[in-house]
């Protein structure tokens, strides 16, 4: 395990079920140290394999997207055996907080986010957890962070699921503004992927949402 190379105490950013995030310095640069959490209930060999494989996919995706010029954190260091990824610390507020504050920039940022997500999809990557809490508004545009659930896929079903999950997060977090936020997001998405593809994607999103409602109704009827 490497150590912070700057004086002062590291700052705990997040302590989640899957990973711990700490802000510290790496080679003199403010950085995020992400360490995947070991699961004591899992077979140790399996746990090590899963941590290694998931860290490898996340690091590879970050590196590839960055090489394409997309706004994701730069990758600095990886230790697969420890499940450690060191990446750029992106300075700026969360998009979630800009929306809460009623910032005039919010709708423009949603459109930029739509373009960024479309470009990520165009690269054959599904993020898996697009929320306004996983978007940082940096000095040169919006950054998509936390690729811990990301995977490679170009299947329309997977891309639509990515958008479906984003829509659900906006509905639960910013319900009163959801229509305007989602309209600007999809406007940005269509700029990159084109209107025809975006319309096909939204049809698939609607199918996924209807499936979810059907399953929920069955649960209610059964009293589950």
Residues designated as active site: 129
Is the CB of residue 132 less than 8 Å from the CB of residue 96? Answer: yes
How far CA 5 is from CA of 33, 70, 87, in Å, comes to 12, 27, 14
Instruction: Provide the angle, in degrees to the nearest 10, between the axes of the packed helices 195-222 and 178-193.
Output: 140
């Amino acid at each position: 395990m490497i150590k912070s190379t700057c004086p002062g105490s590291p700052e705990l950013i997040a302590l989640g079920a899957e990973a711990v995030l700490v802000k510290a310095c790496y080679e003199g640069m403010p950085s995020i140290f992400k360490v995947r959490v070991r699961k004591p209930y899992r077979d140790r060999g399996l746990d090590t394999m899963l941590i290694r494989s998931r860290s490898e996919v996340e690091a590879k995706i970050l590196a590839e997207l960055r090489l394409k010029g997309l706004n994701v954190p730069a990758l600095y260091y990886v230790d697969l055996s420890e499940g450690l990824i060191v990446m750029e610390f992106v300075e700026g507020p969360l998009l979630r907080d800009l929306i809460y504050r009623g910032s005039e920039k919010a709708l423009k940022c949603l459109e930029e986010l739509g373009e960024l997500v479309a470009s990520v999809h165009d690269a054959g990557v599904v993020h898996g957890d697009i929320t306004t809490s996983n978007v940082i508004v940096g000095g040169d545009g919006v950054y998509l962070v936390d690729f811990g659930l990301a995977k490679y896929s170009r299947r329309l079903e997977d891309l639509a699921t990515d958008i479906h999950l984003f829509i659900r997060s906006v509905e639960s977090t910013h319900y009163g503004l959801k229509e305007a936020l989602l309209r600007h997001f999809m406007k940005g998405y269509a700029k990159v992927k084109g209107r025809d593809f975006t319309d096909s994607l939204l049809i698939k999103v609607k199918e996924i949402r209807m499936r979810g409602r059907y399953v929920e109704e069955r649960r209610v009827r059964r009293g589950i």
